[in-house]
Amino acid sequence: MSEDNQRPQGPEVQGPGSVEGLEQQLEERRRTGGDAAVAQSCLELAQAYAEQGSLRQAYPLFEQALQIFEVRGDRANLVLCLKTLAGLCYRQGAWNRALDLYHQALRLLTDPEDEAEVALTHSQIGSVYQGQGDWEKALASYAESLKTRERLGDTRGMALLYNNLGAVFARQRQWEEAEQAWTTCLALHEGSGDLTGQAITLGNLGSLAQQRGLWTDALTWYSRSLPLYRQSGDTLGEATIHNNVGLVYKQIGRLDQALEAYRKGLTLLQTLGDSLRATVTMYNMAMIHEDQGDYREALRLLEQVIEIDRRIGHPDLRRDMETFRRVRQKLDAARDTQKMEEERAI
């Protein structure tokens, strides 16, 4: 599967309640409540702002909540706030700030009952290092987390870590290590009956084989992944696998089968209303039709791609228009050649 589905473990930012209601609640608590209530409202509203993408409004509220929790010595809420803000920084690519916040949280997790949270935090730190491309530190953090999760018998956590380890090894082109990590991950997901985890891992093993040029192996892994995505109801994952199958068939010159795989993926993406990914699939199909000399069908697909590009402001609009012009020139040249041949025949 594509790297988009080699899913590193990162925190999610969530906020309860409507923004308007939380804003009113914060105003009321600033007037009548104590520091603890104000800090809690700041945190909840910051999470809600972050969820809707209003980061400029979210950050100051996180900082206010952090200050109050720290003054009050409220360790549990301080850790929660630090890690929530770190997760937001992670998603924005503010790697150093995320690391600083996660390490602050880690220093507060000193009680024996914090073991599971310590393991999770090491894993999240590993995800940040992975985002930075600092593979050695990512591996070290994941290994630290894995030791604790194994001791706690946390099968799901172990599977997620082996998934992340596989992704790091694959990025370093350490193929055998990546395969071993994902094979272990797959066994853990099979043991727990996690269909989605199995589907993702089989897709990752297919992607790994594809990168190594092991086309038959890649198709085998993908064929095992598809029904599991279907069973788990993950339509986007299923569409992604069809797209990857299409890429494999194109690589080995089986163009009709590549088109069939792309069509299946495109149908699913259109069902989801995912215009962005649909343009990628249609572009890939257009390139195959160009290779087959079916310029009219290639142009029909490219026209649709360009229309969607314009509608959503896609950054590939210029490239797609240049491709359209190139294919159009080929069609015009083919017409001229055919006309000359017809004239000679008269």
Question: What does the pLDDT look like over 84-138, one tens digit per residue?
Answer: 889 988 988 899 999 999 999 999 999 989 999 999 999 999 999 999 999 999 9
Does domain 1-149 sit in CATH 1.25.40.10? yes
As a whole-number percent, the residues of the chain with pLDDT over 90 amount to 69
Rounded CA gap, 101 and 93, in Å?
14
Rounded CA gap, 126 and 142, in Å?
6
Instruction: Evaluate the CA torsion angle 63, 64, 70, 75 in order and state its sign.
Output: negative
Residue 337 CB-half CA count within 13 A: 6
> For residue 250, what are the CA distances in angstroms to 55, 112, 244, 301, 306?
42, 54, 10, 17, 23
C-beta of residue 247 within 8 angstroms of C-beta of residue 284 = yes
pLDDT at 305: 95
pLDDT at 346: 58
Q: What is the mean pLDDT of the chain?
A: 90
- The tokens describing 306, both together, are 């360009």
Mean pLDDT of the region 314-338: 90
Mean pLDDT of the region 275-288: 95
Rounded CA gap, 81 and 87, in Å?
10
Whether the predicted pLDDT of 29 surpasses 90: no
Instruction: Evaluate the CA torsion angle 261, 267, 271, 272 in order and state its sign.
Output: positive
Rg of the chain (C-alpha set): 25
pLDDT at 6: 42
Question: What does the pLDDT look like over 51-87, one tens digit per residue?
Answer: 877 878 888 888 888 888 888 888 988 898 899 889 9
pLDDT at 345: 64
Rounded CA gap, 168 and 9, in Å?
12
Largest Cα–Cα separation, the chain: 96
C-beta of residue 302 within 8 angstroms of C-beta of residue 267 = no
Around Cβ 223, how many Cβ atoms within 10 Å? 13
Question: What does the pLDDT look like over 124-133, one tens digit per residue?
Answer: 999 999 999 9
- Helix count (H) and strand count (E) of the chain? 16, 0
Question: What does the pLDDT look like over 177-205, one tens digit per residue?
Answer: 999 999 999 999 999 999 999 999 999 99
Question: What does the pLDDT look like over 207-257, one tens digit per residue?
Answer: 999 999 999 999 999 999 999 999 999 999 999 999 999 999 999 999 999
Which region, left, alpha or beta, applies to residue 152 given φ > 0 means left and ψ of -120 to 50 means alpha? alpha
Enter the pTM of the model.
0.81
Name every residue whose Cβ is closer than 8 Å to that of residue 230 and which is 6 or more positions away in sequence: 238
Residue 105 CB-half CA count within 13 A: 29
CB-count burial class (<10 Å; 0-12, 13-18, 19+) for 338: exposed
CATH class entry, domain 259-334: mainly alpha
* Measured torsion, CA atoms of residues 217, 223, 224, 228, in degrees rounded to the nearest 10: 150
Residues of each domain in the chain carrying CATH 1.25.40.10: 1-149
